[in-house]
Amino acid sequence: MNCFRLLEHTADMGIAAEGECLAALYVQAALGLRQIVTACSYIEPRTEFPVEVQGEDREELMVNWLSELLFLLESRRLLPAAFEIDTLEIDTPGDCRLRARVAGEEFDPDRHYLEREIKAVTYHRIEVEPTATGWRAQVYVDL
């Protein structure tokens, strides 16, 4: 059931993700973000970065998670290959936390290509909610 698909929107693009558990949902959303940026399938997990984000609720946590991944791409030129969620706490309203490790490699124009530049992750039509079989999310990015 873990999956994602891309959604079209004027000047934006969206990710519709599903996961069997909340951690899997956040990983699927990250994979969707990577797919928007690049369709490269040959990214090696050569280096690893810890990521820690907070939010008031599941939706803000999702925006902050994906925004941090964009920051790693822009500041460290990191193309992510894999995501490992270590801790995901959403029990306390106003104090949601996610700790993860992102493995990947530095962007190499001789081996990789970027399809789109993402300006920002938005709150436009964001959803993060439980379903009968797990979790689903929808989030849009500004291109």
pLDDT tens track for 93-120: 788 999 999 999 999 999 998 999 999 9
Instruction: Tell me what pLDDT residue 101 has.
Output: 98
SS3 assignment for the chain: CCEEEEEEECCEEEEEEEECCHHHHHHHHHHHHHHHHCCCCCCCCCEEEEEEEEECCHHHHHHHHHHHHHHHHHHHCEEEEEEEEEEEECCCCCCEEEEEEEEEEECCCCCCCCCCCCCEECCCCCEEEECCCCEEEEEEEEC
Instruction: Tell me what pLDDT residue 93 has.
Output: 75
How is the chain split into domains, by residue range? 3-142
Instruction: Tell me what pLDDT residue 4 has.
Output: 83
Q: What is the pLDDT of residues 74-88, one digit of tens each?
A: 999 999 999 999 999
Residue type, 94: G
What fold, for 3-142?
Archease, Possible Chaperone; Chain: A; domain 1 (3.55.10)
pLDDT band of residue 9 (cuts 50, 70, 90) is low
Instruction: Tell me what pLDDT residue 40 has.
Output: 84
Which residue is it, tokens 């993860």? 100
